[in-house]
Amino acid sequence: MHQIHADLLRRTVKVLVIGCGGNGSAFVGGLPYLHQAMLVAGHPGGLDVTLIDGDVISPANCVRQPFSSAEIGLNKAIVMMSRINLFWGFNWKAAGEFVTAKTDIGKFDIVVGCVDTRAARHTIHSGVTGCRSGVGYYLDLGNSADSGQFILGEPWNYRNRQAAARLRTGGELFPELLEASLDANDGPSCSAVEALERQEPYINFVVAQHALALLARLFRYGTIDHQGAFVSIAQNRVQPIPINPAVWRKMRRRGRKLIAVVRSQEVQPQAA
pLDDT tens, residue by residue, 118-146? 999 999 999 999 988 999 999 999 998 89
Predicted confidence at residue 270, as pLDDT, reads 46
- H or E element at residue 245: helix 245-266
Q: What are phi and psi of 243, to 5 degrees?
A: -90, 90
Compute the distance between CA of residue 208 and CA of residue 210 in angstroms, rounded to an integer. 5
Q: What is the largest CA-CA distance in the chain?
A: 70
Distance CA 76, CA 54 (A): 8
**What are the Cα distances from residue 180, in Å, to 160, 186, 212, 253?**
26, 14, 27, 18
Query: Domain 2-266 falls in which CATH fold?
Result: Rossmann fold (3.40.50)
User: 52 has which bridge partners?
Assistant: 18, 95
What is the reported pLDDT for 266? 61
pLDDT digits (tens, 9 = 90+) for 45-70: 999 999 999 999 999 999 889 999 99
Q: What is the pTM of this model?
A: 0.90
Q: Where are the domains of the chain?
A: 2-266
- Nearest-angstrom CA–CA distance, 134 and 117: 24
| pLDDT over 70 percentage in the chain | 89
**3-class secondary-structure state, position 162:** coil
Q: In this model, does residue 71 exceed pLDDT 90?
A: yes
Q: What is the pLDDT of residue 11?
A: 97
Given this model, what pLDDT does residue 251 score? 81
**Tell me, what's the pLDDT at 203?**
93
Which carries the bigger pLDDT value, residue 264 or residue 161?
Answer: 161
In the chain, % helix, strand, coil (3-state, to 5) comes to: 40, 20, 40
CA distance 101 to 119: 11
The pLDDT assigned to 272 comes to 36
pLDDT (tens digit, 9 = 90+) per residue, 221-266?
Answer: 999 999 999 999 989 999 999 998 888 888 877 767 766 666 666 6
The bridge status of strand 47-52 relative to strand 93-95 is parallel
Q: Are 231 and 238 in contact (CB under 8 A)?
A: yes
Let me know: does 42 contact 136? Beta carbons within 8 Å.
no
- pLDDT class of 182 with cuts at 50, 70, 90: confident
DSSP for 196-230, please give it: HHHS-TTHHHHHHHHHHHHHHHHHHHSEESEEEEE
Q: What is the pLDDT of residues 84-121, one digit of tens each?
A: 999 999 999 999 999 999 999 999 999 999 998 999 99
Tell which residue, 53, 6, 7, 48, has the closest CA to residue 31.
Answer: 48
